[in-house]
């Protein structure tokens, strides 16, 4: 076991602050990574403030962060795919049982015994896993990903959650040329959804509550932008969408979006607001519409997404911040004021 610097929160109402956490010495199968950048996902904020207490209560202290890129510093004797000096990435998962039907199909994100990167039982050290707001992490080779060499690292980090969480459902629901696709909420996930839907050739409409984001939405690849608080603008799209991805982090009216789906259209929730959403039965009955959800993506698909990003030169638009600004960044996230992902430069933690 060794110690590494990190930022943790001691309770749901405490700010994140500097600390030291234990990491295991790499086993035969492990890769040790020096973390260079870690994205800030809204899920970090939900977890730090225990907003998901009814589903996955937070165990304190918590070290969040699951959008990790870095450089390999050490590998175990059985590791074949990585060597010291390689770039490597880690997303939301660090382990699973490997034997259940989900794992066998490469859908580790649905494994009943999965280990999340933070706030999951730590099989090696006891206690809970600690995430990427730290200088170093040790992860089983099976959960380490390769970063295409052409991608800028600060913008590549958010691909590990915001990227795969939007890529996976759009692949699943057949987003492609000829499809009309809506993206609700232009935050970290939403802006990646726009980039992917555009790259897949779909007609992309962004729904935003922030009129100031309109120009950016068009630049990111949207064909149209709707200010969702304007009911006349919304009505113009009634019954016309094949697929809508809802990436909103707070309570909102999803019936307004269900009514925009065409026959057999699907709305997939990736946003995970703390409060249950009210769904009108008629919004689904009429037009045989469906409402579904999606959770990140499996390891193979995450690698596929990273390779797709390498081939199409896709990264997140990031505001790079030092770790000392993390609490300020959380307050801005709550105001939907981020363009469009915060990426923490982990070199800033070394000076603490």
Ligand X SMILES: NC(=O)c1ccc[n+]([C@@H]2O[C@H](COP(=O)([O-])OP(=O)(O)OC[C@H]3O[C@@H](n4cnc5c(N)ncnc54)[C@H](OP(=O)(O)O)[C@@H]3O)[C@@H](O)[C@H]2O)c1
Binding mask 144-183 for ligand X (x = CB under 6 A): -----------------xx--x------------------
Rounded Cα distance, 317 and 330, in Å: 17
Interacting stretch for Zn ion, rule CB under 5 A, among 29-37, 97-105, 173-181, 335-343?
97-105
DSSP 147: P
Binding mask 176-195 for ligand X (x = CB under 6 A): ---------xxxxxx-----
C-alpha pair distances (Å), 165 with each of 21, 67, 341: 28, 12, 14
14 binds ligand X (CB under 6 A): no
Minimum distance of ligand X from residue 143's CB (angstroms) = 16
Identified binder of ligand X from the candidate list 208, 259, 266, 302, rule CB under 6 A = 208
Rounded Cα distance, 301 and 278, in Å: 32
Task: Compute how many residues bind ligand X; rule: CB under 6 A.
Answer: 32
Identified binder of ligand X from the candidate list 272, 284, 286, 320, rule CB under 6 A = 272
* Cα dihedral 192, 43, 295, 146 in deg (nearest 10): 60
286 binds ligand X (CB under 6 A): no
Q: Say whether the peptide bond before residue 61 is cis (omega within 30 degrees of 0).
A: yes
Identified binder of ligand X from the candidate list 296, 306, 321, 349, rule CB under 6 A = 296
Nearer to ligand X, 116 or 138 (CB): 116
Identified binder of ligand X from the candidate list 137, 260, 309, 333, rule CB under 6 A = 333
266 binds ligand X (CB under 6 A): no
35 binds Zn ion (CB under 5 A): no
100 binds Zn ion (CB under 5 A): yes
Binding mask 87-126 for ligand X (x = CB under 6 A): ----------------------------------------
Rounded Cα distance, 124 and 349, in Å: 25
Rounded Cα distance, 343 and 315, in Å: 12
- Concatenate the DSSP letters of all residues of 3-14 into one string: EEEEEEBSSTTS
Nearer to Zn ion, 135 or 166 (CB): 166
Q: How many helices (H) does the chain have, and how many strands (E)?
A: 12, 16
Minimum distance of ligand X from residue 58's CB (angstroms) = 13
93 binds Zn ion (CB under 5 A): no
Contact status, residue 245 vs residue 268, Cβ threshold 8 Å: yes
- Concatenate the DSSP letters of all residues of 253-266 into one string: -THHHHTTEEEEEE
Interacting stretch for Zn ion, rule CB under 5 A, among 6-14, 41-49, 142-150, 325-333?
41-49
Rounded Cα distance, 109 and 92, in Å: 9
Contact status, residue 309 vs residue 147, Cβ threshold 8 Å: no
Rounded Cα distance, 198 and 220, in Å: 8
Interacting stretch for ligand X, rule CB under 6 A, among 37-45, 72-80, 136-144, 196-204?
37-45
Question: Contact residues for ligand X (CB under 6 A)?
Answer: 41-43, 46, 161-162, 165, 185-190, 208-210, 213, 247-250, 252, 270-273, 294-296, 333, 336, 338
């Amino acid at each position: 076991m060794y110690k590494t610097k990190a930022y943790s929160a001691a309770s749901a109402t405490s700010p994140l602050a500097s600390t030291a956490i234990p990491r295991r010495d790499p086993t035969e199968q492990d890769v040790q990574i020096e973390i260079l950048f870690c994205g800030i996902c809204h899920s970090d904020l939900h977890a730090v403030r225990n907003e998901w207490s009814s589903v996955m209560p937070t165990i304190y202290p918590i070290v969040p962060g699951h959008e990790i890129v870095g450089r390999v510093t050490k590998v175990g004797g059985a590791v074949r795919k990585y060597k010291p000096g390689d770039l490597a990435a880690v997303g939301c998962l660090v382990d699973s049982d490997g034997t259940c039907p989900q794992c066998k199909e490469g859908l580790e994100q649905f494994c009943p015994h999965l280990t999340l990167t933070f706030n999951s039982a730590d099989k090696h050290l006891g206690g809970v896993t600690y995430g990427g707001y730290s200088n170093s992490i040790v992860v089983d080779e099976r959960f380490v990903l390769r970063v295409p060499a052409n991608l800028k690292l600060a913008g590549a980090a958010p691909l590990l959650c915001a990227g795969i969480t939007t890529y996976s459902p759009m692949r699943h629901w057949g987003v492609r040329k000829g499809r009309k696709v809506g993206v609700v909420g232009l935050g970290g996930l939403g802006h990646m959804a726009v980039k992917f839907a555009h790259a897949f050739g779909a007609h992309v409409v962004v729904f935003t509550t922030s009129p100031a984001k309109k120009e950016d939405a068009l630049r990111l690849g949207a064909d149209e932008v709707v200010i969702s608080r304007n009911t006349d603008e919304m009505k113009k799209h009634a019954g016309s969408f094949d697929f809508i991805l809802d990436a909103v982090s707070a309570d909102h009216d999803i019936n307004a979006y269900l009514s925009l789906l065409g026959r057999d259209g699907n709305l997939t929730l990736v946003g995970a607001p703390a409060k249950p959403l009210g769904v009108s039965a008629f919004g689904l009955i009429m037009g045989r519409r469906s409402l579904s959800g999606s959770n990140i993506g499996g390891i193979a698909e995450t690698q596929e997404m990273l390779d797709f990003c390498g081939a199409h030169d896709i990264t997140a638009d990031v505001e790079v911040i030092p770790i000392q600004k993390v609490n300020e960044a959380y307050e801005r996230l709550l105001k939907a004021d981020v363009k469009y992902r915060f990426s923490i430069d982990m070199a800033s933690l070394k000076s603490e």
